[in-house]
Structure 1
């Protein structure tokens, strides 16, 4: 039996909703990565989450039993800082809306992270941060309105979690979009193709495959980059989203989880019905079929496990 992965020389994994949920590995993810490495298939990780640096992400993954090196990790925070460093003079002040990781990336790129309107920032960079609040958003709105360049690391509306989708950076960007009545000047992360093309370039891959859980970022980004993609149903997008997806958001393949990499490939054809399920006029799913076709989530954490995750986040 031929395996899906056998046609590719690099697998680019999204993280949230594919490899882990918050700080817990998704069952089978570590085993899949180890299997790829044993087969000699290159691996990379591309994430829109700007709250951790590449080395931190690699440490987190390794701690979960998912082998990773910092040079295999591409983050929207690092890509945004690199972009700004190319556009601005060395030492230029940049107002950072986001986590410490984004601030550190800006500093390491040779720029000066600042926090107030009075610092006269040359640009505003906005990424996800659990502590982002009204005050820093207000400072950003003031300076963008005054003419500063506005760069968003990504516009993911939600983040996957064991309890369901939570507000992501896209929701925070929407606050400024509403206040300013305009869009960011640049959105760096997925669905823009830069993270994917950089990963392929760094590994010298000729046949990369992207694995993601979101049609609007991971899959659309892969399509834009001219890459094949695998949608896994362990995160945000479900079957109703899949059936209703326009061509630019349709994956090459779909699977319940990353174990689908080692199964016989079945290309996904555009349809309004799949595996006994159909999309109704109001966007709901109707019918009966296999769990993967219905988008049944294989991750099911107990209430106690969810509480443990919440307690860990509160300590950070």
Structure 2
């Protein structure tokens, strides 16, 4: 089965932390939410590392520096070095540095993570669109208190023809109180004011994947994420395998409706999925079976029979939905089937 024609989650007889050499882990919605560790994350990552898997933390959030992210993870009980953290700020700084001369001034709309990453690439972060010799504008998540005037500053420069870059375009970001607007929402503000389009570095685009490979040296990486449109699509674009965990943005219904580039290799509840094999989904005359469940798609409705682990039922439903959809997105009614699973 080619990556482009995936019609079912894959199985793995080996535990994932043994089958892959490096886990490329998203942070928000996977390892923590609102700054607090997600259930089972700390002990699962410790066990994966003890079993020989290298852990790297790959985040589209450009607000914090790699040092501060590593410190935060260590405080949560996940010992981490700054070199194990890859951010979209680092990816976009490399992208800019390849297109403008060393020492160029870059207008920063975002947090300290962007400023540090730019300095590492020999660029000079500035705060005003009126700086002489301004070479670029870069926009990244600046936290919920980023002043509205910063978007105006970016717009002034972009409307004068200064090249515009964005660390990422995630429309939302998970937090302790729920889902809030992400950097993509802020990028839309500047796009509306200028009619321009930024160059984007973060997941799911190639600059982020390239930055990750350069910094980790991974040979058999497994992308682990909670978002179909960034983590899973980024793995698809990089032609590497992926594990979707259901602790963040994506839910079961979105998974069933996923088009090919948003279909993960594996799906599990949380990071405990790194420590186990993955059950095989098998085609049968009356549908697709996984564990004690069988799923089929007759008459425009996804149906589910049997019982057992709800995740096995979801895997079987994915096979039925994705097979029916082919290269598109499944539009079948899955309400009753998901209600049976409590998902």
**TM-score over 0.5 for the alignment?**
yes
Q: Which residue of 2 aligns with 1:146?
A: 160
Q: Which residue of 1 aligns with 2:39?
A: 27
CA contact (8 A) 1:240 1:283 kept: no
Matches within 5 A, 1:254-265: 254-265=267-278
Residue 252, structure 1, aligned to residue 303, structure 2: no
Q: 1:19 to 1:74 in 2, by over 3 A?
A: same
Q: Deviations over 1:78-116 (max 9, x none)?
A: 221222222222221111000122123223322221222
Q: Give, in angstroms, the shift of residue 11 of structure 1.
A: 0.9
Q: 1:103 to 1:95 in 2, by over 3 A?
A: same
Q: Which residue of 2 aligns with 1:305?
A: none
> Structure 1 residue aligned with 2:119, among 97, 107, 118?
107
Q: Which residue of 2 aligns with 1:182?
A: 196
SS at match of 1:129: coil
Matches within 5 A, 1:261-276: 261-266=274-279, 273=302, 275=313
Q: Which residue of 2 aligns with 1:72?
A: 84
Matches within 5 A, 1:79-228: 79-120=91-132, 121-130=134-143, 131-184=145-198, 186-228=199-241
Distance 2:207 2:82 in 1: 18
Distance 1:98 1:13 in 2: 23
Distance 2:281 2:213 in 1: 23
**5+ residue gaps, structure 2:** 1-12, 283-287, 289-295, 305-312, 322-329
Q: Which residue of 1 aligns with 2:341?
A: 290
Distance 2:98 2:152 in 1: 26
Distance 1:175 1:150 in 2: 13
Q: Name the structure, 1 or 2, with higher relative contact order (CA <8 Å, separation 6+).
A: 2
Runs (4+) of structure 1 exceeding 4 A deviation are 267-274, 276-284
CA contact (8 A) 1:58 1:73 kept: yes
CA contact (8 A) 1:46 1:196 kept: no
Q: Deviations over 1:58-85 (max 9, x none)?
A: 1110010012111111001122122222
Distance 1:95 1:268 in 2: 50
Residue 9, structure 1, aligned to residue 21, structure 2: yes
Distance 1:169 1:285 in 2: 32
Q: Which residue of 1 aligns with 2:75?
A: 63
CA RMSD of aligned residues (A): 2.4
Q: Which residue of 1 aligns with 2:243?
A: 230
> What is the aligned length?
291
**5+ residue gaps, structure 1:** 295-316
**Pair member with larger Rg:** 2
Q: Give the structure-1-normalised TM-score.
A: 0.85
Q: 1:268 to 1:25 in 2, by over 3 A?
A: farther
